C-alpha cells in the first residue's frame, strides 16, 4: 500500500464516509443474524452528524479515505459506552480494530474521565468477541433480543487497562 493508517478525531466532513463504511461493515452482521433492519444499517446521516457533535468519534484514515471508525460517550457515572467499531473489510485482521479500541479508551479515559469501559456485540459475532476479550473485556450480561439474537455486554475497568498497557 505504501501509506500508513492514521487515527484522529472525526470531523463533520467525515460523516458521509463514516455512514457509507458503516453500511458496508454491518452487512456481515445483518447476514449473520438474518436481520437487515439493524440500527447501523438504518441510521441517517443527520444521526451520524449528531453523534459527531455529542460524543467522541475517531476515524482511521488511509490517505483521504476513512477505513475504520469507533464512537464513544461517557455517562455521569464514569462509564464509557463504546460502539460501532467498524473496519473496512479489506483492512480487517491487521490489528486496526484493536488500535482504534485502544485509542478510544485512551481518549475517553484521559479527556472524558471514564472509570469503566462497556460495549456490546451479538452472541454469534466471534471475531468481535475475540477482539474484546483480547483487550481485557469480560462478559457482564446477556440479553436475548429475539430467537436470532442475544446481545453480550462486556466491560472492563479503566484502571485495569492502564496497568495492562504499562506492563
Domains in the chain, start-ordered, CATH in brackets? 5-166 (3.40.630.30)
Average pLDDT over every residue of 68-93? 96
Q: Can you give the pLDDT at residue 165?
A: 44
Closest CA to 88 of 79, 96, 80, 76: 96
pTM over 0.85: yes
Q: How confident is the model at residue 163 (pLDDT cuts 50, 70, 90)?
A: very low
Compute the half-sphere exposure of residue 105: CA atoms within 13 Å on the CB side of its CA: 25
Q: Which of 36-40, 80-84, 163-167 has the lowest mean pLDDT?
A: 163-167
For residue 18, the tally of other CB atoms under 10 A from its CB is 24
Q: Is 81 exposed, middle or buried (0-12, 13-18, 19+ CB in 10 A)?
A: middle
Instruction: Answer yes or no: is pLDDT of 10 > 50.
Output: yes
Q: Can you give the pLDDT at residue 126?
A: 93
Question: Which residues fall within 8 angstroms of residue 3, CB to CB, at 6 or more apart?
Answer: 62, 63
Q: Can you give the pLDDT at residue 144?
A: 93
Amino acid at each position: 500500500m505504501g501509506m500508513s493508517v492514521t487515527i484522529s478525531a472525526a470531523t463533520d466532513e467525515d460523516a458521509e464516509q463514516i455512514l457509507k463504511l458503516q453500511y458496508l461493515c454491518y452487512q456481515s452482521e445483518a447476514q449473520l443474524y438474518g436481520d437487515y433492519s439493524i440500527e447501523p444499517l438504518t441510521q441517517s446521516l443527520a444521526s451520524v452528524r449528531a453523534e459527531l457533535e455529542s460524543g467522541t468519534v475517531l476515524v482511521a484514515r488511509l490517505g483521504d479515505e476513512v477505513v475504520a471508525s469507533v464512537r464513544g460517550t461517557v455517562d455521569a457515572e464514569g462509564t464509557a459506552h463504546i460502539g460501532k467499531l467498524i473496519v473496512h473489510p479489506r483492512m480487517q485482521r491487521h490489528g486496526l480494530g484493536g488500535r482504534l479500541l485502544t485509542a478510544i479508551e485512551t481518549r475517553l479515559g484521559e479527556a472524558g474521565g471514564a472509570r469503566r469501559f462497556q460495549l456490546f456485540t451479538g452472541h454469534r459475532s466471534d471475531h468481535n468477541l475475540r477482539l474484546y476479550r483480547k483487550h481485557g473485556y469480560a462478559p457482564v450480561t446477556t440479553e436475548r433480543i429475539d430467537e436470532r439474537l442475544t446481545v453480550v455486554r462486556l466491560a472492563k475497568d479503566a484502571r485495569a487497562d492502564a496497568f495492562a498497557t504499562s506492563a
